[in-house]
């Protein structure tokens, strides 16, 4: 039974329909509100606003639940791979063996960049942030595939595979360029994550790096855990751009820009910077946390807190276990991990964090694993972008396939000047 909602504005009642999701969450459909009453709703930061109906990912922030297409994240983390999960997100069900082989083959066939794209890399300054390069190059890639723009449906599987595959090639090329290293091309006999590590870390063409299975597994898991997260800032950006019927690559490129910010995907880099700073100052985290709580210098405990998770982030639980495992397997100890553990221990028992429901999020430990693997700090958010690509693609597809999809165009409450007359320059004070 759907609940009904009655709104009363200045004594005039308006009945609003509701929508109940498959997990029981209720949305009040206000699409008739402005026409019927002249009013709009105001929800800065969209904490109470559903922007769409979606069948891709389910989150219950109170219970710490994350499911892709109905599958619990912990089960996928244990049993699946990033590529199989990518297929699941984009096409809605786990692939059969044949579908998985076809999908993998399509990824391999599309992993090379158009040779012309190599020249674009040359013109970025050595100081360019890899996220700037990634966003620009994904957009540039669309110009090498003109049929992207018109043919929406029939070529979609190829374009999706091309994007998933090429984002990894672009990321590795930008790393090699920034470090003055020769470009390493992908190999067709390597699987997705192993191929990425090969392009990143092989010393030079013809000399392959050693691919340790535990490292390949750890990075594959990081990609999988980041693969989708419903209507977060970057995914909403992708959907918004897609709603104007921009092409897949343009929409994903916009998603990369949104992800870059330190409150979103950039948090994994910000966590490591914060831990390094604490370490450099000889603090064990106590002084830093006092500054956070006193809001000295607007500091935040990066990697803590989430708009949706108010109990725990299930990705953080998995990644913390993986972090301990990887460091043990690599026989590495990391003073930053010790600081992170201390920060977590204090924060989880501190009134400031408890009362605000602030818990470690996925970014709190992922940076430590990536550091152990040898991925430089400024590439951390790029790793997030590689992982998030299937989620963005699935959301793009959902927008394109929705017969009721309209261009996203929020309204506003105007608070500026009311009408005034133009003052000539000589008359202005
Ligand atoms: N450290 C200290 N205080 C915090 C933190 C934090 N990490 N996060 C929130 N608060 C405080 C904030 O100062 C405010 O306090 P008060 O009520 O005294 O003003 C209160 O908690 C509510 O904060 P908010 O900014 O209104 O919360 P939000 O839901 O808008 O922000 C967030 C969510 C993730 C942006 C925020 O928690 C944050 O900045 N965290 C650090 C950055 C981070 O780790 N981001 C990665 C998120 S997970 C990856 C992803 O999906 O993007």
| Ligand 1 site, residue 304, Cβ cutoff 6 A | yes
Token pair of 63 as six digits: 């219970």
Ligand 1 closest atom vs CA 307: 29
Nearest Cα residue to 348 out of 396, 406, 391, 285: 285
What pLDDT was estimated at residue 150? 52
Tell me how far the alpha carbon of residue 44 lies from the centroid of ligand 1, in angstroms: 15
**Cα of 263 from ligand 1 centre, angstroms:** 8
Q: What is the pLDDT of residue 235?
A: 98
Tell me if 82 CB under 6 Å of ligand 1: no
pLDDT at position 184, please?
Answer: 94
The pick from 305, 307, 362 for probing ligand 1's pocket by mutation, whose C-beta has the most ligand atoms within 8 angstroms, reads 305
* Nearest CA among 51, 30, 50 for reference residue 40: 30
Contact 253, 389 (CB under 8 A): no
Give 23: exposed, middle or buried? Use CB within 10 Å, 0-12, 13-18, 19+.
exposed
CA distances from 275 to 210, 267, 334, 337, 352 (A): 29, 12, 11, 8, 20
Q: In which residue ranges of the chain is pLDDT below 70?
A: 148-154
CB 232 within 8 A of CB 225: no
Q: Please say whether the beta carbons of 133 and 170 come within 8 A.
A: yes
Q: Is the CB of 319 under 6 A from ligand 1?
A: no
pLDDT tens-digit readout, 310-354: 888 999 999 989 988 888 888 888 898 889 889 999 999 999 999
- Ligand 1: which atom is nearest the Cα of residue 300? 1
pLDDT of residue 376: 93
- pLDDT at res. 5: 93
The verdict on the CB of residue 231 being under 6 Å from ligand 1 is no
φ, ψ of residue 282 to 5 degrees: the values are 70, 15
Q: What's the pTM?
A: 0.92
How far is ligand 1, taken at its centre, from the CA of residue 346, in Å?
17
Percent of the chain surpassing pLDDT 90: 78
The reply to whether ligand 1 has any atom less than 6 angstroms from the CB of 40 is no
- Ligand 1 near 299 CB (within 6 A): no
Strand partners, 20: 26
Q: If you take atom 22 of ligand 1, which residue's CA is the nearest one?
A: 356
What are the residue numbers of the active site? 306, 363
């Amino acid at each position: 039974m759907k609940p009904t909602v009655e709104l009363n504005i200045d004594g005039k009642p308006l009945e609003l329909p509701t929508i109940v999701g498959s997990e029981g969450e209720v949305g009040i459909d206000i699409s008739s509100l402005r026409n019927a009453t002249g009013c709009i709703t105001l929800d800065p930061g969209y904490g109470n606003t559903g922007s769409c109906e979606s069948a891709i990912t389910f989150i219950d922030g109170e219970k710490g639940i994350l499911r892709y297409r109905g599958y619990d994240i912990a089960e996928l983390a244990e049993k699946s791979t990033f590529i199989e999960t990518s297929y699941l997100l984009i096409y809605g069900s786990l692939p059969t063996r044949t579908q998985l082989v076809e999908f993998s083959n399509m990824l391999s066939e599309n992993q090379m960049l158009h040779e012309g794209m190599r020249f674009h890399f040359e013109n970025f300054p050595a100081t360019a942030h890899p996220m700037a390069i990634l966003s620009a190059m994904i957009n540039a890639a669309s110009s090498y595939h003109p049929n992207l723009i018109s043919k929406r449906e029939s070529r979609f599987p190829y374009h999706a595979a091309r994007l998933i595959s090429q984002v990894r090639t672009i990321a590795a090329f930008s790393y090699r360029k920034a470090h003055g290293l020769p470009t390493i091309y992908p190999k067709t006999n390597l699987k997705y994550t192993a191929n990425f590590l090969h392009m990143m870390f092989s010393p030079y063409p013809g000399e392959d790096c050693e691919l340790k299975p535990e490292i390949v597994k750890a990075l594959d898991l990081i990609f999988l855990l980041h693969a989708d997260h419903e209507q977060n800032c970057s995914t909403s950006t992708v959907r918004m751009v897609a709603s104007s019927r921009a092409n897949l690559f343009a929409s994903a490129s916009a998603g990369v820009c949104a992800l870059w910010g330190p409150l979103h995907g950039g948090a994994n880099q910000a966590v490591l910077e914060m831990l390094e700073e604490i370490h450099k100052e000889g603090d064990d985290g106590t002084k830093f946390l006092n500054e956070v709580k006193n809001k000295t210098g607007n500091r935040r405990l990066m990697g803590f807190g989430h708009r949706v998770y108010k109990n725990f982030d299930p990705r953080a639980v998995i990644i913390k276990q993986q972090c301990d495992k990887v460091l043990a397997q690599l026989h590495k100890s990391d003073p930053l991990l010790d600081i992170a553990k201390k920060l977590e221990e204090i924060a989880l028992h501190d009134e400031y964090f408890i009362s605000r429901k602030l818990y470690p999020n996925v970014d709190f430990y992922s940076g430590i694993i990536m550091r152990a693997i040898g991925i430089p700090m400024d590439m951390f958010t790029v790793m997030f972008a590689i992982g998030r690509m299937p989620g963005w693609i699935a959301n793009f597809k959902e927008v394109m396939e929705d017969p009721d999809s309209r261009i996203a165009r929020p309204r506003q409450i105007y608070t500026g000047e009311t009408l005034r007359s133009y003052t000539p320059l000589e008359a202005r004070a």
